[in-house]
Amino acid sequence: MLESVKYPDILHKGKQLEAQNFCMSLLEERFGNIDASIVEQVEVLSKEQLEALGRAKSGNFIDS
């Protein structure tokens, strides 16, 4: 599997989904049920953007 050409893509997509799920859980914890339009916006963020969102929340840059 590690030698597969597709393995890096699969790994990247897995990390992307993990970051999306983490950010969605942070948003739901803070705001409750999240509107579908917000979910769609989160789903198109890059991994780097998702990580920044997670850091902002954990760094208390978003009002708690």
pLDDT digits (tens, 9 = 90+) for 3-45: 677 888 888 888 899 999 999 998 899 899 999 999 999 999 9
Does residue 63 carry a pLDDT above 80?
Answer: no
Please give the single-letter amino acid code of residue 64: S
23 close to 42: Cβ distance less than 8 angstroms: yes
C-alpha span between 53 and 13 (Å, rounded): 18
7 DSSP assignment: H
Q: Which residue shows structure tokens 């579908």?
A: 36
